[in-house]
């Protein structure tokens, strides 16, 4: 069959349009989940889906779903998805190219008169990035019934409750569990994403087939020392929560670097200091850390070692420490058969290599109910989650072409 390419001008217009729904007071692209910009972007997105011929709905977890009928409606749907929220001061491609690329696939199929056997669902998953509620991948967790009552009751800094925020987006938190998708109810999940890392760009390879996706465990840690006068308290009479926290941060780095049998990474990316004044010894610190690896056992091992070491240090310094798990997503190893079909589909579009994903994705959760596959396009200089994030339109075009090939191949052969 001839190579089917997306209409790049149209796709480009969509990518640039959604990039206009941002918080202009921030750097780069900021469209945080549940904000005004996010809601406006999603109204526009839903209209785009309808215009492409998709029948849209919003599920209980506020995911926007556009459905295209298949010629055999007894088959389970193939799902293509990603997200349209961003991190703060983020880039314009993370997530958006997967959703908008999916809509472009639908338009191309229609123009070419191609009918799929399977029903097709294009999904914009609710708030994929870590949200103000201390939770990421809210929509995909919700879709599989993985949002616990405790999670739904979490509050953001303004005191808003997650369950209400989901309802406000058009979801229905009371029905999330009941209406969740069960194992086997989706034939296959595909996601096109920018790599968010340096491998493809460095190797000058336009396409990647993902072999596995890291699992992520996140914890909130509260360190309680004693605030006191920064001038009058001698160095050996202090219970400084921040110097202790610094020791912990370096400890996590050390443990992760020592463990080089697997590509494990650990990060403290969020830290609050109280009272945060130059002449007061910090009395309290609150930070969040995450550990990621391709094997869940490695994450468990590293986390256990860190917590053990931290507790030892806490006794030594007489400073209290408390750990709370915020979230755990399991790693994914992609099925051999899926990798094979994706490789064949990508090879037809451009040179392709296999690589793992160091970023987490909605696919981590959808994997609980369906086989998943991911295609990556390059991120220039490996930059992402920052304003410099960049993928050229030519690279996005190749990615969508590969996605079309993959969809057609799976639609024909997938059981
Ligand atoms: O944090 C992540 O890995 C993803 O970009 N949400
Ligand atoms: Mn991201
Ligand atoms: Mn993403």
pLDDT per residue as tens digits for the range 24-62: 999 999 999 999 999 999 999 999 999 999 999 999 999
178 and 226 assigned to the same domain: no
336 and 318 part of one domain: no
Domain span at 235: 216-329
Q: Where are the alpha helices (DSSP H) in 19-124?
A: 36-51, 96-112
Instruction: Provide the pLDDT for residue 2.
Output: 79
pLDDT for res 263: 83
Residue 162 within any structural domain of the chain:
yes
Let me know whether 198 and 237 are in one domain: no
Say if residue 323 is in the same domain as residue 389.
no
Quick one: which atom of ligand 1 is closest to the CA of 216?
A: 3
Q: How many angstroms separate the alpha carbon of residue 87 from the centre of ligand 1? A: 9
pLDDT at 73 over 90: yes
Is 218 labelled as part of a ligand binding site?
yes
**Which residues have CB less than 5 Å away from ligand 2 (the ion)?**
94
Contact predicate 151/61, CB 8 Å: no
Q: What 3 state SS string does 207-249 have?
A: EEEEEEECEEEEEEEEEECCCEECCCCCHHHCCCHHHHHHHHH
The domain that contains 402 carries what CATH number? 3.40.630.10
Q: Are residues 137 and 261 in the same domain?
A: no
Strands annotated E in 303-409: 320-329, 332-333, 352-357, 372-377
CA distance 291 to 99: 27
Would you say the CB of residue 128 lies under 6 angstroms from ligand 1? yes
Is the shortest distance between the CB of 200 and ligand 1 below 6 Å? no
Is residue 291 located within the same domain as residue 356? no
The annotation status of 29 as a binding-site residue, yes or no, is: no
pLDDT of residue 166: 98
Q: Is 2 helix (H, G, I), strand (E, B) or coil?
A: coil
Any idea which ligand is nearest the CA of 84?
3
Is 402 among the domain residues? yes
- Quick one: pLDDT band at residue 261, thresholds 50, 70, 90? low
Distance from C-alpha of 292 to C-alpha of 349, rounded to nearest angstrom: 31
* Same domain membership, residue 295 and residue 198: no
Domain final residue pick, 329, 354, 376: 329
**What per-residue confidence (pLDDT) applies to 167?**
98
Tens digit of each residue's pLDDT (9 = 90 or more) over 196-233: 999 999 999 999 999 999 999 999 999 999 999 999 99
Report the domain count for the chain.
2
Atom of ligand 1 nearest to the CA of 136: 6
Residue 15 CA to residue 393 CA, distance in Å, equals: 10
pLDDT value at 260 more than 80: no
Residue 194 lies in a domain: yes
**190/230 same-domain check:** no
What is the best residue among 90, 140, 294, 385 to mutate for testing ligand 1's pocket, by most ligand atoms within 8 Å of CB?
Answer: 385
Q: Is 181 annotated as a binding residue?
A: no
**pLDDT classification of 259: cutoffs 50, 70, 90:** confident
Do 284 and 264 fall within a single domain? yes
Mean per-residue pLDDT of the chain:
97
Over residues 369-397, the pLDDT tens digits come to: 999 999 999 999 999 999 999 999 999 99
Chain segment 99-115, per-residue pLDDT in tens: 999 999 999 999 999 99
Domain boundary among 273, 296, 329: 329
Does position 154 have pLDDT exceeding 90, yes or no? Answer: yes
Inside any domain, residue 3: no
First to last CA, the chain: 22
Q: Is residue 113 part of a domain?
A: yes
Point out the domain boundary residue: 283, 308, 329.
Answer: 329
Residue 1 lies in a domain: no
**Percentage of the chain modeled with pLDDT above 90:** 97
84 and 165 in a single domain? The answer is yes
- If asked whether residues 124 and 189 sit together in one domain, one would say yes
2 within a domain of the structure (yes/no): no
Judgement on whether residues 206 and 127 belong to the same structural domain of the protein = yes
Is position 53 within any domain? yes
Ligand 1 neighbour 129 (Cβ under 6 A): yes
Q: Looking at residue 303, which CATH number applies to its domain?
A: 3.30.70.360
362 assigned ligand-binding residue:
no
Nearest atom within ligand 1 for CA of residue 385: 5
Total-model pTM: 0.94
Pocket of ligand 1 contains residue 171 by CB under 6 Å: no
Ligand 1 pocket residue status of 33, Cβ below 6 Å: no
Mutate which of 32, 196, 290, 299 to test ligand 1's pocket (most atoms within 8 Å of Cβ)? Answer: 196
pLDDT at 72: 97
């Amino acid at each position: 069959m001839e190579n089917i390419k997306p209409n790049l001008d149209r796709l480009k217009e969509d990518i640039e349009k959604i990039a206009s729904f941002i918080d202009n007071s921030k750097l780069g692209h900021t469209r945080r989940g549940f904000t005004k910009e996010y809601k406006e972007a999603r109204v526009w997105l839903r209209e785009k889906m309808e215009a492409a011929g998709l029948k849209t709905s919003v599920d209980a977890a506020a995911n926007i779903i556009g459905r295209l009928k298949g010629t055999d409606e007894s088959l389970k749907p193939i799902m293509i998805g990603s997200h349209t929220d961003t991190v703060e001061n983020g880039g314009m491609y993370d997530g958006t190219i997967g959703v908008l690329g999916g809509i472009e696939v639908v338009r191309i199929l229609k123009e070419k008169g191609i009918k799929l056997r399977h029903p097709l669902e294009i999904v914009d998953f609710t708030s994929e990035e870590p949200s103000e509620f201390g939770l990421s991948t809210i929509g995909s967790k919700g879709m599989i019934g993985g949002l616990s009552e405790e999670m739904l009751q979490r509050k953001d800094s303004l005191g808003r409750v997650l369950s209400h925020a989901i309802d406000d987006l058009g979801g229905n938190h009371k029905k999330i569990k009941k209406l969740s998708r069960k194992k086997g109810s989706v034939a296959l999940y595909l996601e096109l994403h920018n790599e968010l890392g340096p491998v493809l760009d460095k190797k000058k390879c336009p396409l990647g087939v993902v072999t596995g996706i890291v699992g992520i465990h996140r914890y909130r840690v509260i360190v309680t020392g004693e605030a006191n006068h920064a001038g009058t308290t001698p160095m050996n009479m202090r219970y400084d929560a921040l110097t202790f926290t610094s020791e912990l941060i370096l400890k996590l780095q050390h443990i992760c670097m020592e463990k080089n049998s697997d590509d494990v990474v650990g990060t403290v990316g969020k830290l609050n200091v109280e009272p945060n004044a130059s002449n007061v010894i910090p009395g309290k610190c609150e930070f969040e850390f995450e550990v990621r690896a391709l094997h869940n056992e490695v994450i468990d091992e590293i986390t256990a070692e860190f917590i053990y070491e931290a507790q030892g240090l806490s006794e030594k310094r007489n400073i209290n420490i408390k750990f709370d798990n915020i979230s755990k997503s399991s790693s994914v190893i992609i099925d051999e058969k899926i990798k094979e079909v994706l490789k064949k589909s990508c090879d037809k579009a451009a040179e392709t290599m296999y690589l793992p994903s160091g970023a987490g994705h909605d696919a981590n959760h959808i994997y609980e109910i369906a086989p998943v596959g991911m295609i990556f396009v390059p991120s220039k200089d490996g930059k992402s989650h920052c304003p410099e994030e960049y993928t050229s339109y030519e690279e996005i075009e190749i990615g969508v072409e590969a996605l079309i090939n993959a969809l057609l191949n799976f639609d024909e052969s997938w059981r």
